[in-house]
Amino acid sequence: MNHIKTRINLPETTQKRIVIVGGGFAGIELAKSLRDLNAQVLMIDKNNYHTFQPLLYQVATAGLEPDSIAFPIRKIFKSHKNFYFRMACVNEIRPETQTIVTSIGDVRYDYLVLATGSDTNFFGNQNVAHYSMPMKSIAEALDLRSLILQNFEQALLSGDPVEKESLMNIVIVGGGPTGVEMAGAIAELKKHILPKDYPELNLSAMKICLIEAAPRLLGTFSDKGSGKTQEFLTEMGVTVMLNTQVKDYNGEVVVTQNANINSKTLIWAAGVSGAPVKGMKAESVNRGSRYLVDEYNRVIGYDNIFAIGDVSAHITEENPKGLPMVAPVAMQHAENLGHNLKAIFNNKVSELKPFRYHDKGSMATIGRNKAIADIGKFHSQGFLAWVMWMFVHLFMLIGFRNRVIVFVNWLWSYAIYDRGIRLIIRPFKRTSKETYEVRKAS
């Protein structure tokens, strides 16, 4: 046990310890709110940085450098005297001893907050999990960028028209904000960037397909916003396939119930599931791999374990599947739980506040001067929504430097129709032995 303590290397204290697992939107906001609390706050994450996931697609499509959407966790909390960070993987929770098992040893907790976020959901299709490209992390975004560029380099060398078409074609599965934004970004690459980089290729033969199983895109948006999104994408040359499910994919052919598409790039943005940690009661986790929580975000069946963000599911009559897995929900979870933890520590249990989500609206960008904004009764499609989307995302980024870099990149791209990050820094290669479980574990 002494050896384990040395590896964790946390100072001994009489203060109670709050352990936060996950440095995403929920974990970061909660730790900020606990700055002045008389407690030892420990955050554990497998990365030493926070990722601004809404802009991952711009890293994947060569619009932004990866370090412009990432920020060191320690730098965020450098002035917090009660905050500690350890980079580690959390392998198991042991509620009976109030400890968690990590890759660097065991850690005791008085209060545990699970903010582990979400994983890509392939709905049990192992071929799709193996051959498609998810986009939940910076590493996956860089892999996708490399694959797209590598395929175009290979298309230059191919003398087989079918193979050349397959190398250039790109299929995106999922008509939510991520899929829509990715499709629009790739359409702009095809129009403005790829003809300059690859003038020898006949890019008119390149197909960009967006596949959605539901009858419309952006299902949580207004009907008008959804319809306008499809109109924008169609104008940009994207083939939108609604009411279509992907049945299989072997790395070369996308199989649907309606048609088969030759493509060596399948981007999977069709769904997410929670990312729970082993060790909790089976009845505490729902079918979506999310922790069932009460109105105070306590995990059902536990008094001192909480779940916030994507990994939590507060089931009500209004939301039988739980709230959407988006950043605003996670940040409001964190704000409310921060208030409640302070009330608990100050022996003011009567001041606990049940969580109530305030929907501030939804936005999605499709491309230059094209975006959708649904904010209460206000609905906008086009340039105004695009400007609003830009400033909201700039404001949400952590760090003045990151905001400046992203803003300058956007101005540069807007002014000269260029994306300067078309680099294959680390070539992507999928091994025959790679499986979804291996990828998930890494």
Q: Catalytic site residue 181?
A: yes
In whole angstroms, what is the distance from residue 365 CA to residue 386 CA?
6
Rounded CA-CA distance 175/230 in Å is: 10
Cα separation, 368 vs 325, in Å, equals: 26
Catalytic-role residue among 181, 188, 212, 335: 181
Using CA atoms, how far residue 45 sits from 72, 114, 162, in Å, is 12, 11, 44
| Alpha carbons 442 and 436: distance in angstroms, whole number | 10
Amino acid at site 282:
A
Q: How far apart are CA 32 and CA 341, in angstroms?
A: 13
Active-site residue set: 181
